C-alpha cells in the first residue's frame, strides 16, 4: 500500500464521514456550546464593527447564532458538510485548506474547534490572512495538546501491557507554544495566544468514549491501526483510567484544553514596536540604578 505524504496526519474524508454520522444522530455539542458562548465576550472588548464575517469550519451553527447579534452586513458560514450550515446567513460547503474567497473579503474570520483537524495549518493560516481586509481580525479556538491526556495514558498503558506495543489513538493537538510563531509566519500582526483547560467528569471511560463518538471526534489518524481495539485492551484501559484519574466519588476526569488564537491583518494604524536605539529614557534611570560599562 502506498504511503501518504509525511505532512498528511489526518484522514479528512473519514473525519467528514464520522462528523456527518454524528450530526445525523444526537450530537454531543456541549464543548462547542461552551466555546461558542465565549466568542461574543472576547469580541466585546474590540470597539469596532465587523461588517463582513466568516465562520470557518465550525462543525455546527452555534457560532453563527452567537455572532448574529452583532448584526453584520454579511455573515458567511463555510463548513465541510451541508449538515453544519443550518444557522442562518450564507452557508457554503468548503474545505478549510482550500478557501474559495477573494483576497480582502472579510473584516472578521472566526473558527471554533475545527482547525486542529487540518493537515496544513500554516497554509490555512496564510489563506485566512489573505482573505482578511487590512485591520481585519482572526479569532479562533482549537483543541489543545493537553486534551484527553488521561485517555491517552490509559490506552497506551493497557495496549503496551496486553499487546506489547502502542498504536496512535489520540490526535496530536495544537501546542500553545507554537501558535504565536505560526501566526507571525502567516503574516498576522499583534498575535495573541492563550489557553483554557476544562475538566469534564464521567461515570467511567466508556461514557467519555460514547461522547467522543457523538461529537464525530474519534480516531482519524492516517497512521492509526485499522484493526478494532481488542476488548481486553479496552477493559484494562478502563481499569487504569479508574485507578489513576478517579475522584473520591468514583467519577473519572477528562481534560479538554482550548487554545485561543487571534491576529490582525496588518494596517498602518496599528501599533508597531519601536526601532532599536529610539528610546528617549534610560532603563538605568527608570530603575534608579547605576549603569556599569563592561
Residue 5 included in any domain: no
Q: In the 8-state DSSP scheme, what is residue 15?
A: H
Q: 197-226: per-residue pLDDT in tens? A: 999 999 999 999 999 999 988 877 887 777
Rounded Cα distance between 16 and 36, Å, is: 21
Q: 224-279: per-residue pLDDT in tens? A: 777 778 899 999 999 999 999 999 999 999 999 999 999 999 987 776 655 555 55
Residue 280 included in any domain: no
pLDDT at 293 over 60: no
Residue 286 included in any domain: no
Query: Domain of 105: which CATH number?
Result: 3.40.50.150
Q: 47-92: per-residue pLDDT in tens? A: 888 999 999 999 888 888 888 877 678 899 998 888 677 666 688 8
Number of domains, the chain = 1
* Residue predicted with more confidence, 218 or 172: 218
Residue 149 included in any domain: yes
Name every residue whose Cβ is closer than 8 Å to that of residue 84 and which is 6 or more positions away in sequence.
19, 23, 58, 59, 60, 61, 77
Using an 8 Å Cβ cutoff, are 260 and 196 in contact?
yes
Helices (H), the chain: 12-24, 30-36, 38-44, 62-67, 121-131, 149-163, 176-185, 205-214, 231-245, 283-286
pLDDT at 2 over 50: no
Residue 6 included in any domain: no
Q: What is the pLDDT of residue 68?
A: 82
pLDDT at 152 over 80: yes
Q: 103-148: per-residue pLDDT in tens? A: 999 999 999 999 998 999 999 999 999 999 999 999 999 999 899 9
Q: What is the pLDDT of residue 1?
A: 36
Residue 101 included in any domain: yes
Helices (H), 139-230: 149-163, 176-185, 205-214
Backbone phi, psi, residue 125, to 5°: -65, -40
Using an 8 Å Cβ cutoff, are 261 and 267 in contact?
no
Place of cell 496588518: 266
Q: What is the pLDDT of residue 286?
A: 55
CB-CB neighbours of 116 under 10 Å:
22
Rounded Cα distance between 187 and 173, Å, is: 22
- Write out the residue range of the structural domain in which residue 257 sits: 12-266
Using an 8 Å Cβ cutoff, are 147 and 256 in contact?
yes
The cell numbers describing 33, all together, are 456550546
Rounded Cα distance between 46 and 56, Å, is: 20
Residue 127 included in any domain: yes
Q: What is the pLDDT of residue 220?
A: 79
Residue 247 included in any domain: yes
Work out the mean pLDDT of the chain and round it to a whole number.
Answer: 86
Rounded Cα distance between 216 and 22, Å, is: 5
Amino acid at each position: 500500500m502506498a504511503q501518504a505524504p509525511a505532512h498528511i496526519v489526518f484522514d479528512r474524508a473519514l473525519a467528514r464521514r464520522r462528523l456527518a454520522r454524528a450530526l445525523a444522530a444526537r450530537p454531543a455539542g456541549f464543548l462547542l456550546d461552551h466555546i461558542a458562548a465565549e466568542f461574543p465576550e472576547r469580541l466585546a472588548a474590540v470597539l469596532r464593527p465587523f461588517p463582513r464575517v466568516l465562520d470557518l469550519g465550525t462543525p455546527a451553527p452555534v457560532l453563527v447564532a452567537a455572532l448574529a447579534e452583532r448584526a453584520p452586513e454579511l455573515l458567511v458560514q463555510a463548513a465541510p458538510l451541508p449538515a453544519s450550515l443550518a444557522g442562518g446567513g450564507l452557508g457554503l460547503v468548503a474545505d478549510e485548506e482550500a478557501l474559495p474567497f477573494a483576497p480582502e473579503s472579510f473584516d472578521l474570520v472566526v473558527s471554533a474547534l475545527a482547525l486542529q483537524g487540518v493537515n496544513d495549518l500554516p497554509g490555512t493560516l496564510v489563506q485566512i490572512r489573505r482573505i482578511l481586509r487590512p485591520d481585519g481580525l482572526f479569532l479562533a479556538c482549537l483543541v489543545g495538546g493537553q486534551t484527553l491526556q488521561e485517555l491517552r495514558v490509559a490506552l497506551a498503558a493497557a495496549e503496551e501491557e496486553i499487546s506489547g506495543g502502542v498504536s496512535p489513538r489520540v490526535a496530536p493537538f495544537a501546542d500553545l507554544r507554537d501558535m504565536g510563531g505560526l501566526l507571525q509566519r502567516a503574516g498576522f500582526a499583534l498575535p495573541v495566544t492563550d489557553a483554557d483547560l476544562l475538566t469534564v467528569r464521567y461515570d467511567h471511560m466508556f461514557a467519555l468514549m460514547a461522547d467522543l463518538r457523538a461529537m464525530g471526534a474519534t480516531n482519524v489518524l492516517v497512521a492509526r491501526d485499522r484493526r478494532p481495539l481488542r476488548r481486553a485492551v479496552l477493559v484494562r484501559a478502563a481499569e487504569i483510567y479508574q485507578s489513576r484519574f478517579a475522584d473520591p466519588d468514583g467519577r473519572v476526569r477528562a481534560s479538554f484544553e482550548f487554545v485561543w488564537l487571534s491576529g490582525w491583518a496588518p494596517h498602518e494604524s496599528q501599533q508597531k514596536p519601536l526601532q532599536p536605539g529610539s528610546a528617549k529614557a534610560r532603563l538605568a534611570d527608570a530603575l534608579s540604578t547605576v549603569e556599569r560599562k563592561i
